[in-house]
């Protein structure tokens, strides 16, 4: 090899010859966090638990903006999976705000029982705005991250 080629890296020489080389030390998929933001994914999701259905504040505000202070919960099928449905309804449940909680809750075991009988399971649902209310699409089970931890 000539002195000129010794100074060039093997990757550069192969690149110049048209040979595809994949770099192992390549940084990809960079995502920066905004200033002062926290990863509070659970606060943005509808939560179905044993004690009731917890609703994110933005969803509750949107439903309250429809002129009714009560919320009806239901279920349906969407894309082959069970979803939770929420709408403002004068015959629905009045959401309660628990002290120190970022969500409002439809408190009532009967609500959870009826949703479970309809096929909605306990866990987190991602809210989507739909005509007339909100739809929660399955996201994950409660405690799923803790269950996947290595406990050895």
Where do the structural domains in the chain lie, given as residue ranges?
Answer: 41-148
Pairing type for strands 46-49 and 71-78 reads unpaired
Whole-number Cα distances in Å, 45 to 15, 60, 85, 99, 126: 48, 12, 13, 19, 5
In three-state form (DSSP H/G/I as H, E/B as E, the rest C), the secondary structure along 41-76 is HHHHCEEEECCEEEEEHHHHHHHHCCCCCCEEEEEE
- How far apart, in whole angstroms, are the C-alpha atoms of residue 35 and residue 18? 43
Signed CA dihedral, 91, 80, 112, 138: sign only: negative
Tens of pLDDT along the chain (152 residues)? 555 555 566 667 777 777 765 656 565 566 666 555 455 555 789 999 888 899 988 898 888 888 888 888 889 888 888 899 999 988 888 888 777 777 888 888 888 888 898 899 999 999 999 888 999 999 888 665 444 544 44
């Amino acid at each position: 090899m000539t002195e000129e080629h010794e100074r060039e890296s093997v990757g550069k020489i192969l690149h110049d010859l048209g040979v595809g080389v994949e770099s192992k030390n390549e940084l990809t998929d960079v995502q920066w966090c905004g200033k002062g933001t926290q990863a509070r994914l659970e606060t943005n999701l509808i939560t179905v638990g044993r004690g009731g259905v917890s609703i994110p504040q933005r969803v509750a505000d949107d439903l309250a903006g429809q002129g009714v202070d009560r919320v009806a919960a239901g279920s349906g099928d969407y894309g082959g999976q069970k979803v939770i449905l929420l709408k403002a309804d004068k015959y629905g449940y009045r959401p309660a705000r628990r002290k120190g909680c970022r969500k409002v809750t439809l408190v009532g075991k009967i609500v959870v029982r009826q949703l479970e009988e309809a096929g909605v399971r306990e866990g987190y649902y991602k809210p989507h705005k739909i005509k007339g209310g909100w739809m929660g699409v399955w996201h994950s089970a409660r405690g799923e991250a803790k269950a996947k931890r290595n406990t050895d």
